[in-house]
């Protein structure tokens, strides 16, 4: 470790004030603080500090994403070989997916961090850690067949217009990763919907089996929800969908990590699921009895394991910057996300992924919810006086 | 009249180096210094010159804006030096104390606590003891002209490595009682906050005061938290409060008729060889107490506790309100990939470090910031350690926006910096919460 420190120290003056590369100070700073937690000590106020910082926070989210990432990689291979009617080992499934997903991750990080670095140099502010998570979230919520240039475009778009123009991590009001997906979804619908969920690259001497259908459950359920995959498959995630979103189980493991470490808000995770379930039940009650296959008849718990519901609830809705900031507000925010998602899915088949849209919608409403909660708080405080 | 209050939110930071119950008397050294900058919002005007003879209790300087506020000399002797800083600001008044016997000014011919309010106020002002009284809102030195709705005394300190105030007060139970009688004469409503499991005799057989048995983690011992739970401050309310150790000095004043300002100070922290209690004089050099007691090269000396204390150097002097000295290691070494390591020895309220598995361990923490300052990102953290009906982040943002009306509505009058110290400690974004609160208090005080 010593020699790393020595190397860093020897090049450091070049990036300091008056150094040759003074312009790139914050870029250097980003790499230095990545390698070393700085030796800065407390100067005002408290003399000791909690060991947790934003890097650690983001790292915890990444760890929580690992189950969905690993499962997603495996599932990419599994869906591919299933389409060709082949049975291969767990490792082969995984490796197929690994080599498909890895480039998407690399492009996502490279493009997004590139924008962050350019802004750090131009705007003279430190590189924030927020993109560490966004960069991994984007690959997990796109189909594996996505062209790499689209990944780059989405990453650049969300970092630029979703975050940096507002002042960087902590100042943005919409979840950057979801913004990237929404942008790609509306700009390039041909690549983001339809039968694009399984990688169908050629297998020598094989043809896609007749039974293969590229439609996801979200597309099927509007026609006839009885033809969807089994609840067990949907829960485990052996279904088609975006890379990381299919497995509810993997998302729940991630949720456990986030909640135990205190990084994710249990209030939000719980209420999103509750909101979705309650709205599902409500739909069942209102469903027209004479149309037995109407989407409103879908069992309520199906909504929770379908599509990106669990992924959105655990990793997207809990983004502390874009969620409501007040504790009471989090309950309202979560409930509404869950409820809106089900409403969108049932009544608006043009946008099968209701989760993405309702989280973005609630991101916009979050400040309003906070405002109302704060006004209520003030009213209560005043009535005491 | 005993009531139970249970406080749920908060956190006890367990550190290495708490003081053992041994008390050592330190002899006077050949210098005593009183520092005007120790008194917040004080514009000092000197009453003595170099070469003047002073007695214990003689005023050294007063506040230009509040002539009632005089700061007395704790010892008798000769003024040897007035140390000035930038723009001739008075930094220290140095005194060479009489070594043989201390000569005291007499403030009461016949010591008694049975006096009327006006007379008591006169004596408190004249002796300079008034500066020990503080008020909320704003957490400043109280104004003698006000009639507070209550006076609060927190009889325990819940901050890290804090001195045991029952031990301190039990050295002079009579002075403590006399002090309380004086408070009763100043205001009918006197509230004492005592730790629920504290069974020491000092808190029994007291004059007629409200005793509140308080349980829960830090900041349960902060007087601001106790006020909030016992009788919250509404608009236009004023409450006074005083530290038990300062109350002892006031008790002595009325029992003996003279100003005797020696204090019991707990020397604590992981850089101290034998953490214990010392009795010494206000203004005594810290060297006297730290002598031979420090271990390690780079230490941070703090007058007070690690959360709200002031950074000091060994050449400093004991401040008028210091009850604890803490010495911990400086943490100015960069740590390779420190944000990735499992962190068995690091303390975090989040469970992102494996140390959370060991519930009862005590930590040897240094002053490292553990990261860099960022914008507010995580939410719901501060709420976990602030046991008040206050939305901490919303209040901080109102302060940053200088929105005084909203600050009032959100409870700026109830708070002080120290109440937010734990929020600052756990802040992932390393925001200087106490500094912001202090700015908010200053703004609210000057603009209203």
3-state secondary structure B199-245: CCHHHCCCCCCEEEEEECCCCCCCHHHHHHHHCCCCCCCCEEECCHH
C-alpha angle A294/A353/A106, rounded to 5°?
Answer: 155
Phi, psi (rounded to 5 degrees) for B68:
-65, -20
Q: What is the per-residue DSSP string for A65-122?
A: HHHHHHHHHHHHHHHHHHHTT----HHHHHHHHHHHHHHHHHHHHHHHHHHHHHHHHH
Does B440 have pLDDT greater than 80? yes
Cβ distance of B328 and A261 shorter than 8 Å: no
Residues of A numbered 270-299 whose beta carbons fall under 8 angstroms of chain B's beta carbons: which are they? none
Q: Is A371 on the interface with B (CB under 8 A)?
A: no
A365 in any annotated domain: yes
Return the DSSP state at A280.
H
Mutate to test the interface with A, among B324, B355, B378, B392 (most CBs of A within 10 A): B378
Out of B330, B372, B378, the one facing A126 most closely (by C-beta) is B372
pLDDT-derived band at B1 (thresholds 50, 70, 90) equals: low
Check if the beta carbon of residue B222 is closer than 8 Å to that of residue B158. Answer: yes
Q: Specify the residue for token string 């991101």.
A: A363
Cβ distance of A41 and B337 shorter than 8 Å: no
Mean pLDDT (chain B, rounded) = 90
Structure tokens at B51: 């070469």
CA distances for B125 relative to B52, B66, B67, B131, angstroms? 22, 11, 10, 8
Mutate to test the interface with A, among B377, B395, B403, B435 (most CBs of A within 10 A): B377
Check if the beta carbon of residue A38 is closer than 8 Å to that of residue B299. Answer: no
pLDDT at A1: 67
pLDDT at A300: 87
pTM (2 d.p.): 0.90
Cβ distance of B336 and A377 shorter than 8 Å: no
The percent of residues above 90 in pLDDT, for chain B, comes to 65
Q: Which residues of B touch A52 (CB under 8 A)?
A: 348-350, 352-353, 370-371, 426, 428
The whole-angstrom separation of Cα B263 and Cα B259 is: 12
A324 in any annotated domain: yes
pLDDT at B101: 87
The C-alpha of B302 sits at a distance from chain A's nearest C-alpha, in angstroms, of 8
The tens digit of pLDDT for each residue in A221-260 reads 777 777 777 888 889 988 888 999 889 999 999 999 999 9
Size of interface A-B (CB pairs under 8 A): 206
pLDDT at A5: 75
Q: Is A205 on the interface with B (CB under 8 A)?
A: no
Q: A191: domain range?
A: 54-199+216-374
Bigger pLDDT: A2 vs B251: B251
Residue B127 bridge partners (DSSP):
none
Cβ distance of A378 and B409 shorter than 8 Å: yes
Out of A39, A171, A326, the one facing B334 most closely (by C-beta) is A39
Cβ distance of B375 and A4 shorter than 8 Å: no
Q: Is A304 helix (H, G, I), strand (E, B) or coil?
A: helix
pLDDT at A337: 95
Residues of A numbered 308-347 whose beta carbons fall under 8 angstroms of chain B's beta carbons: which are they? 320-321, 323, 325-327, 330
Number of residues written out for chain A:
385
The C-alpha of A3 sits at a distance from chain B's nearest C-alpha, in angstroms, of 11
Mutate to test the interface with B, among A25, A35, A56 (most CBs of B within 10 A): A56
Structure tokens at A228: 């969807």
A383 in any annotated domain: no
Cβ distance of B435 and A167 shorter than 8 Å: no
pLDDT-derived band at B251 (thresholds 50, 70, 90) equals: very high
Q: Which residues of B touch A261 (CB under 8 A)?
A: 350-352
| Mean pLDDT across B289-310 | 88
Does B402 have pLDDT greater than 90? yes
The whole-angstrom separation of Cα A306 and Cα A344 is: 13
Nearest by Cα to B431 from B373, B389, B382, B344: B373
Out of A48, A60, A378, the one facing B306 most closely (by C-beta) is A48
Cβ distance of A53 and B378 shorter than 8 Å: no
A23 in any annotated domain: no
Q: Is A171 on the interface with B (CB under 8 A)?
A: yes
Q: What is the per-residue DSSP string for B279-304?
A: EEETT-BHHHHHTTTB-SSSEEEEES
pLDDT at B120: 92
Cβ distance of A52 and B350 shorter than 8 Å: yes
Nearest by Cα to B55 from B75, B37, B85, B35: B75
The tens digit of pLDDT for each residue in A35-93 reads 777 777 888 889 999 988 888 888 899 999 999 999 999 999 999 998 888 888 999 99
- Mean pLDDT is lowest, of A342-356, B126-140, B184-198, B219-233, for A342-356
pLDDT at A385: 58
Phi, psi (rounded to 5 degrees) for B183:
-60, -40
Return the DSSP state at B262.
E
| Mean pLDDT across B220-246 | 92
The whole-angstrom separation of Cα A77 and Cα A307 is: 19
As for how many domains chain A has, the answer is: 1
The tens digit of pLDDT for each residue in B345-369 reads 788 888 878 777 777 888 888 898 8
Low-confidence ranges of chain A (pLDDT < 70): 1, 349-350, 352, 385
Dihedral (Cα; A76, A78, A83, A85), 10-degree rounding = 160
The whole-angstrom separation of Cα A4 and Cα A26 is: 19
Structure tokens at B229: 């739970």
The tens digit of pLDDT for each residue in B260-282 reads 989 999 999 999 999 999 999 99
> How many CB atoms within 10 Å of residue A145?
17
Q: Is A376 on the interface with B (CB under 8 A)?
A: no
Sheet holding B53-54, edge to edge: B32-34, B90-97, B77-84, B53-54
Q: Which residues of A touch B270 (CB under 8 A)?
A: none
Q: What is the per-residue DSSP string for B335-366?
A: EETTTTS--SS---SSS-SGGGG-TT--B---
Does B85 have pLDDT greater than 80? yes
Out of A36, A380, A382, the one facing B336 most closely (by C-beta) is A36
A11 in any annotated domain: no
The two beta strands, B150-154 and B140-141, are unpaired
Return the DSSP state at B137.
T
Does B22 have pLDDT greater than 70? yes
pLDDT-derived band at B255 (thresholds 50, 70, 90) equals: very high
């Amino acid at each position: 470790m010593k020699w790393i420190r020595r190397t860093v120290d020897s090049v450091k003056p070049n990036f300091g004030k008056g150094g040759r590369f003074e312009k790139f100070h914050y870029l250097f700073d980003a790499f230095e603080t990545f390698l070393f937690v700085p030796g800065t000590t407390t100067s005002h106020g408290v003399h000791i500090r909690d060991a947790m910082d934003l890097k650690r926070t983001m790292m915890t989210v990444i760890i929580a994403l690992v189950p969905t990432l690993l499962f997603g990689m495996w599932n990419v291979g599994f869906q591919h070989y299933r389409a060709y009617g082949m049975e291969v080992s767990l490792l082969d499934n995984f490796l197929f997916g690994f080599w498909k997903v890895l480039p998407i991750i690399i492009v996502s990080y490279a493009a997004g961090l590139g924008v962050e670095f350019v802004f750090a140099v131009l705007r003279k502010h430190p590189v924030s850690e927020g993109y560490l998570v966004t960069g991994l979230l984007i690959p997990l919520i796109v189909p594996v067949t996505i062209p790499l240039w689209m990944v780059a475009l989405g990453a650049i778009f969300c970092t630029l217009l979703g975050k940096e123009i507002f002042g960087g991590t902590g100042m943005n009001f919409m979840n950057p990763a979801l913004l990237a997906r929404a942008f790609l979804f509306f700009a390039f619908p041909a690549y983001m919907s339809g039968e694009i969920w399984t990688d169908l690259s050629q297998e020598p001497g094989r043809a896609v089996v007749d039974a293969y259908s590229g439609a996801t459950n979200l597309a099927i359920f509007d026609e006839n929800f009885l033809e969807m995959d089994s609840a067990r498959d949907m829960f485990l995630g052996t279904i088609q969908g975006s890379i990381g979103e299919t497995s509810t189980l993997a998302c729940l493991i991630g949720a456990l990590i986030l909640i135990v470490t205190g990084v994710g808000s249990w209030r939000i995770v719980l209420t999103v699921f509750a909101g979705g379930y309650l709205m599902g039940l409500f739909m069942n009650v209102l469903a027209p009895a004479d149309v037995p296959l109407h989407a409103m008849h879908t069992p309520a718990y199906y909504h929770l394991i379908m599509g990106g519901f669990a992924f959105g609830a655990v990793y997207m809705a809990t983004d502390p910057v874009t969620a409501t900031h007040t504790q009471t507000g989090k309950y309202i925010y979560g409930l509404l996300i869950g409820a809106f998602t089900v409403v969108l899915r049932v009544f608006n088949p043009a946008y099968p992924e209701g989760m993405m849209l309702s989280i973005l919608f609630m991101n916009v409403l979050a400040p309003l919810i906070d405002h109302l909660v704060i006004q209520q708080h003030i009213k209560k405080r005043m009535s005491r006086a | 009249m005993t009531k139970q209050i249970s406080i749920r939110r908060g956190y006890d930071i367990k550190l290495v180096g708490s003081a053992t119950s041994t008390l050592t008397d330190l002899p006077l050294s050949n210098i005593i210094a009183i520092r005007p900058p120790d008194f917040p919002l004080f514009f000092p005007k000197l009453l003595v010159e170099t070469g003047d003879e002073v007695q214990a209790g003689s005023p050294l300087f007063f506040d230009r804006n509040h002539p009632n506020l005089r700061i007395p000399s704790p010892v008798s002797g000769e003024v040897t030096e007035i140390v000035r800083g930038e723009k001739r600001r008075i930094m220290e008044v140095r005194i060479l104390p009489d070594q043989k016997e201390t000569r005291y000014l007499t403030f009461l011919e016949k010591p008694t606590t049975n006096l009327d309010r006006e007379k008591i106020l006169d004596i408190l002002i004249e002796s300079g003891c008034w500066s020990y009284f503080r008020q909320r809102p704003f957490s400043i030195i109280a104004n003698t002209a006000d009639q507070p709705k209550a006076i609060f005394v927190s009889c325990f300190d819940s901050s890290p490595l804090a001195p045991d105030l029952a031990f301190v007060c039990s050295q002079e139970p009579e002075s403590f009682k006399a002090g309380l009688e004086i408070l009763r004469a100043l205001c009918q409503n006197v509230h004492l906050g005592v730790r629920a499991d504290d069974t020491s005799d000092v808190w029994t057989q007291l004059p007629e005061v409200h005793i509140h048995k308080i349980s829960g983690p830090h900041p349960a011992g902060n007087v601001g938290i106790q006020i909030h739970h016992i009788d919250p401050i509404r608009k236009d309310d004023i409450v006074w409060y005083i530290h038990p150790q300062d109350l002892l000095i006031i008790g002595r004043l009325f029992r003996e008729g003279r100003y005797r300002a020696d204090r019991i100070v707990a020397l604590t922290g992981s850089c101290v060889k034998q953490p214990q209690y010392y009795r010494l004089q206000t203004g005594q050099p810290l060297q006297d107490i730290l002598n031979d007691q420090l271990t390690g090269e780079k230490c941070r000396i703090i007058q007070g506790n690690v959360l709200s204390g002031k950074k000091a150097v060994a050449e400093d002097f004991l401040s008028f309100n210091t009850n604890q000295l803490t010495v911990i290691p400086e943490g100015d070494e960069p740590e390779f990939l420190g944000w990735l390591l499992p962190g068995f020895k690091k303390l975090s309220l989040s469970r992102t470090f494996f140390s959370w598995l060991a519930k009862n361990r005590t930590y040897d923490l240094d002053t490292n910031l553990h990261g860099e300052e960022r914008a507010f990102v995580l939410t719901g953290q501060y709420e976990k350690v602030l046991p008040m009906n206050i939305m901490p982040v919303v209040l901080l943002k109102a302060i940053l926006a200088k929105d005084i009306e909203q600050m009032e509505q959100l409870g700026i009058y109830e708070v002080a910096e120290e109440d937010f110290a734990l929020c600052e400690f756990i802040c992932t974004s390393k925001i200087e919460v106490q500094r912001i609160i202090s700015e908010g208090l200053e703004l609210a005080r000057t603009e209203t």
